Amino acid sequence: MNRQYFYVGPAAILQGIDLTQIGTKILSKQALLQWIEETEQTLQNHQLITTFIVTLQEELVISDRHSEHVMCAGGHQVLSAGEITFEVINKQVSVVAISNQSTGYCPEPSSWPRVAQALQKAGLEGLDDFTDAYEFRYCHHCKHINLIKDQVFECVVCENTLDPEWNLDQKN
């Protein structure tokens, strides 16, 4: 899938953030270690969860887990987005978990090849797919973005049937 995802989250979030404070491009393990040190990130059991996006150039960009994906991306379109967990032991870095959990961009699980390419460019190979993958759908009736659970395509707000295919590009 070669889809480019644009921000579909709440307008209030977009209006309330500084889009000049974008994430950090990670093109090597050393760049990641440097970012961890410079931003004074705290590892929990040798692990760190960050927000990530994949740029249109298939490059990994990360920011603090508590930041919005749209801020990490500087408001731009992305090829994927989610959360990534790094394990750091004795300056050795590995990716131990990664998801497409981004309610701002709602990327499809099929965006994985773009994530894999970005990880490879950064020298962070190892996973074969998202460890947690989510499906999102837009409800045309009540305008709510839904996280699909158990393959039930029903809006959690108004109970209308949701499109079986990704449709966030139809959000207006």
Same domain, 116 and 139: no
For residues 49 and 85, what is the distance between their CA atoms, to the nearest angstrom?
Answer: 4
Q: Which pair of tokens denotes residue 169?
A: 């590009």
The arithmetic mean of pLDDT across residues 58-84, rounded, is 95
Distance of CA 4 to the CA centre of its chain: 13
> CB of 118 within 8 A of CB of 97?
no
Same domain, 60 and 87: yes
Same domain, 31 and 105: yes
For residues 77 and 21, what is the distance between their CA atoms, to the nearest angstrom?
Answer: 16
For residues 68 and 105, what is the distance between their CA atoms, to the nearest angstrom?
Answer: 10
Same domain, 82 and 106: yes
Residue 67 lies in a domain: yes
Q: What is the pLDDT of residues 91-145, one digit of tens each?
A: 899 999 999 999 999 999 999 999 999 999 999 977 999 999 999 999 999 999 9
The arithmetic mean of pLDDT across residues 2-14, rounded, is 90
Residue 80 lies in a domain: yes
Say if residue 56's pLDDT is above 70. yes
Nearest to 65 by CA among 102, 10, 28, 37: 102
Nearest to 93 by CA among 40, 48, 38, 39: 48
Residue 126 lies in a domain: no
Same domain, 36 and 111: yes
Residue 130 lies in a domain: no
Q: What is the pLDDT of residue 170?
A: 82
Same domain, 20 and 90: yes
- Where do we find the tokens 């921000």? 7
What is the extent of the structural domain holding 96? 11-121
Q: What is the pLDDT of residue 15?
A: 85
Same domain, 109 and 144: no
Quote the mean pLDDT of the chain.
93
Same domain, 102 and 80: yes
pTM over cut 0.85: yes
Residue 41 lies in a domain: yes
The arithmetic mean of pLDDT across residues 10-14, rounded, is 86
Residue 129 lies in a domain: no
Q: What is the pLDDT of residue 1?
A: 57
Residue 89 lies in a domain: yes
19-44 b/e (C-beta count within 10 Å ≥ 16 → b): eeebbbbbeebebbbebbeeeeeeee
Same domain, 142 and 116: no
Residue 127 lies in a domain: no
Q: What is the pLDDT of residues 44-53, one digit of tens each?
A: 999 999 999 9
> CB of 52 within 8 A of CB of 31?
no
Lowest model confidence (mean pLDDT) among 17-21, 74-78, 141-145: 17-21
Q: What is the pLDDT of residue 172?
A: 64
For residues 149 and 133, what is the distance between their CA atoms, to the nearest angstrom?
Answer: 11
Q: What is the pLDDT of residue 141?
A: 95
Same domain, 85 and 154: no
Q: What is the pLDDT of residue 21?
A: 78
Q: Identify which has the larger pLDDT, 102 or 12.
A: 102
Q: How many domains, in total, are found in the chain?
A: 2
Same domain, 115 and 65: yes
